[in-house]
Amino acid sequence: MKVYIDGEFLEEAHAKVSVFDHGLLYGDGVFEGIRMYHNRIFKLREHIERLYWSAKAILLEIPMTPADLMKACVDTCRANGLREGYIRLIVTRGKGTLGLDPRRCPKPSVIIIASTIQLYPEKYYREGLTIVTVPTTRNLVNSVNPAIKSLNYLNNILARIEANNAGVEEAIMLNSEGFVAECTGDNVFLVQKGRLFTPPLSAGALYGITRNTVLDCAQSMGIPTAEPNLTRYDVYNADEMFLTGTAAEMVPVVKVDGRVIGSGAPGPVTARLLEAFHERTKVEGELIFD
């Protein structure tokens, strides 16, 4: 595997960062997870845009233009001969001192990893996930805003540990008001009486690229959508439920906190949306190989 680091392609064994990099020391940096399908990098422009938004929020100046960064992602896929898979794009504050002050980091670092991924075993896409709600609360918007896709993922990791302890693959995180925010790595969707619901961004939900794509698919298919505050009561009484994320794509949920969702099997609206999503992956995105 060849890894892009600051303009160079390095073999995996030699792809290293300084122990004084503030991304390592303090989680000071931002990232994107991006998918490749059918020789295309899906929604690359949208991912790059979100990366720059995250960087702006933490006053991190990315040392490349968006166009150059997009080209570097394409080049990394080509260098690894990949037409399908996953890209992890990282921008760290760069090498600095042991102090917190970001002004001691003169040059941010850009890292691009292109590989393959499968987040969940195939059976979960056929049969659906069983998940739980966990005690760990989603970050407040006036602390580390959940809209920032930062390298500090400890909030999500603590919730994932609770999911592991419960013997499940994912977990719902609530915000400080008790409303559904998101899962540890995915956005949440409910179907009730033919309508599609997902928590608002203000509840602590990430501005998900897959989330937005599914909402676009639903609107083009005539499925009514809304983004109200949702509680666990709404989850338990949904007809269908699924999660979305770049790595996960769309995965159904059939049981939450011991409550069976709908019929207990992935539902028809979920299936229709998944088919529409897969159709988009065939035609949208930047070409890798001409």
pLDDT (tens digit per residue) in 201-250: 999 999 999 999 999 999 999 999 999 999 999 999 999 999 999 999 99
Give the range of the structural domain holding residue 28, as residue numbers without chain letter.
2-115
- Tell whether the model's pLDDT for residue 118 goes beyond 90: no
pLDDT at 34 exceeding the cut of 90 = yes
> Are 168 and 276 contained in the same domain?
yes
Confidence of residue 117 (pLDDT cuts 50, 70, 90): confident
**272 and 129 in a common domain:** yes
Are 107 and 142 part of one and the same domain? no
Catalytic residue among 149, 193, 255, 282: 149
pLDDT above 80 for 13? yes
Total domains in the chain come to: 2
Domain assignment of residue 75, yes or no: yes
pLDDT digits (tens, 9 = 90+) for 81-95: 999 999 999 999 999
Q: Are residues 44 and 152 in the same domain?
A: no
Asked if pLDDT for residue 119 goes beyond 90, the answer is no
pLDDT at residue 268 greater than cutoff 90: yes
* Residue 149: active-site member: yes
Q: Where residue 143 sits, what CATH number does that domain have? A: 3.20.10.10
Contacts 24+ apart (CB under 8 A), 278-284: 280/42, 280/213, 280/217, 281/35, 281/37, 281/38, 281/40, 281/42, 282/37, 282/38, 282/40, 283/40, 284/40, 284/42, 284/43
Give me the amino acid identity at 36: M
Amino acid at 74: V
Task: Among 115, 148, 182, give the residue marking a domain's end.
Answer: 115
Contact assessment for residue 48 and residue 78, using Cβ atoms and an 8 Å cutoff: no
